[in-house]
Amino acid sequence: MGMRLFRRCFVSYGVAGHLGKALSLILWLAVPAHAEDDAAPVTVLALGDSLTQGYGLPPEDGLVPQLRHWLDERGIAAGIVNGGVSGDTTAGGAARVGWSLTPEVDAMMVALGGNDLLRGIDPEVSRANLDTILEEAAARDVEVLLVGMSAPGNYGADYKAAFDAIYPDLADKHGTLLAPDFFAGLGEGDPAELQRYFQPDGIHPNAEGVVRIVEGLGPHLAALIEAAK
């Protein structure tokens, strides 16, 4: 599946799960052992769908563990909570962000919108949901990195323009950091060549693809952590 087709249907498959009240325990486990030192690391909530959750991969190869590895290699102290829920839309994220932002969370990476695209949801609905998420973060004084998605051209020029504008517009409105494209790390090469970075479903990145995606997202995450200190 080429990148355009992938961008059209990179759905987060699976039954939507719930983090539940165990999130506080997860947060505690996600923070490195040296978190009790005077210079405690920043705790980041990664709010997303199956791309964040690590669908189809061994736990250590998913996005969040690989982001932790990227930070560790650079000596950046931070805990990252995997708040990815397979199948989630922006509406799902807006519904759970309030209880997901526990007192331990200092910053949040928001990577949602792919399933909205798959379902052809009105971009204004997606915009409103993401706006709700960012407003909740602002109310909690939580720094945010908003990760953009791009609509495929076959949805029509008007739909694509409306959807693609959501992320930079909201980042400007709320003063958040912006990673323009979740898949930037994969590059813009021949779609046939890019297939080697995906699982057999042609939708979710494989371990090598995640590593490349992390190379693209890592600097943005590092900036978020610095802003949250």
Read off the pLDDT of residues 188-216 as tens digits, 9 standing for 90 and up: 877 778 889 989 987 889 999 999 999 99
Q: In the chain, pLDDT over 90 holds for what percent of residues?
A: 73
For the chain, state the CA radius of gyration: 16
Share of residues in the chain with pLDDT > 70 (%) = 82
**pLDDT above 70: residue 30:** no
> Cβ contacts of residue 13 below 8 Å, gap of 6+?
50, 55, 86, 87, 201, 203, 204
Classify residue 203 by its DSSP letter: S
Could you tell me if residue 154 is inside a domain? yes
Q: Is 42 helix (H, G, I), strand (E, B) or coil?
A: strand
Minimum mean pLDDT range among 62-76, 103-117, 196-210: 196-210
Q: Look over the chain and give the mean of its residue pLDDT values, rounded to a whole number.
A: 86
For 148, the domain range is 3-31+41-228
Among 16-20, 43-47, 194-198, the range of highest mean pLDDT: 43-47
Does residue 36 fall inside a structural domain? no
* pTM for the structure as a whole: 0.83
Residue 193 in any domain: the answer is yes
Structure tokens at 72: 């560790």
Q: Which residues carry out catalysis?
A: 50, 201, 204
Instruction: For 98-139, give the DSSP string.
Output: HHHS-TT--EEEEE--HHHHHHT--HHHHHHHHHHHHHHHHH
In 3D space, the residue among 100, 89, 101 whose CA is nearest the CA of residue 126 turns out to be: 89
Confidence class for position 218, pLDDT limits 50, 70, 90: very high
User: What digits encode the pLDDT tens for the residues 131-158?
Assistant: 999 999 999 999 999 999 999 888 999 9
Say how far apart CA 6 and CA 163 lie, in whole Å.
16
Residue 39 binned pLDDT confidence (cut-offs 50, 70, 90): low
pLDDT > 50? residue 24: no
* 122 assigned to some structural domain: yes
Residue 106 lies in a domain: yes
Has residue 47 got a pLDDT over 70?
yes
Q: Specify the number of domains making up the chain.
A: 1
81 is a domain residue: yes
Q: What is the mean pLDDT of residues 15-43?
A: 48
Residue 38 has pLDDT above 60, yes or no: no
pLDDT band at 99 (very low <50, low <70, confident <90, very high): very high
CATH number at residue 121: 3.40.50.1110
Using CA atoms, how far residue 212 sits from 207, 208, 215, in Å, is 9, 7, 5
With 50 as the cut, is the pLDDT of residue 26 above it? no
